[in-house]
Amino acid sequence: MSTQQTTAFHLRFGNKERIPHLKKLMRTVLEPNGFNMIVLEIDKNFIFKSHPEVHEGDHSLTKEDAQDLQAYARELGIEIVPLFQALGHQGWGGSRSALLRAYPEFDETPDVPLDAEWPEIFCRSWCPLHPEVNDVVADLINELIEAFTPRYFHIGMDEVYEIASDQCDRCRGKDRAELFAKAVNDMHAIITKDRDLEVMMWGDRLLDAEKFGYDNWEADTFGTHRAIHDLPKDIIVLDWHYDERDKGYPTPHYLMEHGFRVMPACWYKENVAEQLFGEAQRDAKEHNLEDHFFGKIVTSWHHWDEEAYDTFAGFVKGEEEVTELYRLYQTMKNVHEY
Ligand SMILES: [Zn+2]
């Protein structure tokens, strides 16, 4: 896979009843359009035998489901990369992820009510300094790796806002970049220990929003971006940008220059994909950084319920719609032209 450019697709996937739908998507859309990787956001939607108390729901995937999916994907020349949300995204709003429900003592913002909403809180984080969090998380990650036998593992790490919270006795007043770097390094150590596995993560917390003129979602406004100097350079960073920009996208170059391999990430907008991927590839070539251009990824952020899969199947048959979902399909069809 290292010599062939990667073309990846991202989706959230947490319901074993949808396995036949995902297989059909692989067979009818991904493989025919040259996709050779799926970043599959499983997160905690897995039956963890080492920690049954970390339970997201009864439809979660089993080890057998994971083995079946990976084997099916590889028959089609596609590699599944499991994504597990580390540090941030431990629930939505005030709600807690399965990990924080089982271990509320890991919560970085324990005083935030469970029914709190944006803008009071976006998502909870775990505390990177809790003395037991990494042991539990290592068990969960190890199980996902045993199940999927992947070549890459994605640790999330996007949109982490709750870090060095005043509500946490361990982290209060500490440097956010240092805490963020510690969390990434801890995950990297768990994943790569005695294993030939590579780590992927979203890149937004490593980018200075002010310097690049991005907003607080696609870049950092809280001070985590300095962590870029303290991370292992073998991480593959996914630099996501979903909207048009007159000034272009300077950050794939910035990340490549810092020694990382980069996979720019678009969403459903074809014009953004064309500009983002095109600029990054031309820039890598111009600056002799082609080894650092890892590939392209198209992300999807709608809910993949049965209706969405059916709608996608309709597109394959030639049906057209004026919707984001249809634009996503077109972007996937044309991804190799950008
Ligand atoms: Zn803390």
How many domains does the chain fold into?
Answer: 1
* Domain boundaries, position 260: 6-83+177-337
How many whole angstroms from 133 Cα to the centroid of ligand 1?
Answer: 11
How many whole angstroms from 272 Cα to the centroid of ligand 1?
Answer: 37
The answer to whether residue 77 is domain-embedded is yes
How many whole angstroms from 68 Cα to the centroid of ligand 1?
Answer: 38
How many whole angstroms from 122 Cα to the centroid of ligand 1?
Answer: 17
CATH number at residue 233: 3.20.20
Catalogue the long-range contacts made by 321-325 (C-beta closer than 8 Å, 24 or more residues apart): 324/268, 325/268
The answer to whether residue 153 is domain-embedded is no
The answer to whether residue 106 is domain-embedded is no
How many whole angstroms from 179 Cα to the centroid of ligand 1?
Answer: 9
State the number of CA atoms in the 13 A half-sphere of 210 facing the CB.
6
The answer to whether residue 239 is domain-embedded is yes
Residue type, 301: W
How many whole angstroms from 162 Cα to the centroid of ligand 1?
Answer: 9
Interstrand relation of 261-266 and 295-299 (parallel, antiparallel or unpaired):
parallel
| pLDDT score for 2 | 40
How many whole angstroms from 305 Cα to the centroid of ligand 1?
Answer: 35
Q: What angle do CA 199, 232, 214 make, to 5 degrees?
A: 80
| pLDDT score for 5 | 86
The answer to whether residue 147 is domain-embedded is no
Residue type, 272: V
Run means of pLDDT, 10 residues per run, the chain, 338 residues? 77 98 98 98 98 97 98 98 98 97 98 96 98 98 98 98 98 98 98 96 98 96 97 98 96 98 98 97 97 98 96 97 97 96
The answer to whether residue 187 is domain-embedded is yes
The answer to whether residue 235 is domain-embedded is yes
The three-state DSSP-derived secondary structure of the chain is: CCCCCEEEEEEECCCHHHHHHHHHHHHHHHCCCCCCEEEEECCCCECCCCCCCCCCCCCCECHHHHHHHHHHHHHCCCEEEEEEEECCCCCCCCCCCHHHHHCHHHECCCCCCCCCCCCCCCCCCECCCCCCHHHHHHHHHHHHHHHHCCCEEEEECCCCCCCCCCCCCCCCCCCHHHHHHHHHHHHHHHHHCCCCCEEEEECHHHCEHHHHCCCCCCCECCCCHHHHHHCCCCCEEEEECCCCCCCCCCHHHHHHHCCCEEEEEECCCHHHHHHHHHHHHHHHHHCCCHHHECEEEEECCCCCCHHHHHHHHHHHCCCCCCCHHHHHHHHHHCHHHC
The answer to whether residue 182 is domain-embedded is yes
What is the C-alpha to C-alpha distance for residues 12 and 14, in angstroms, rounded to an integer? 7
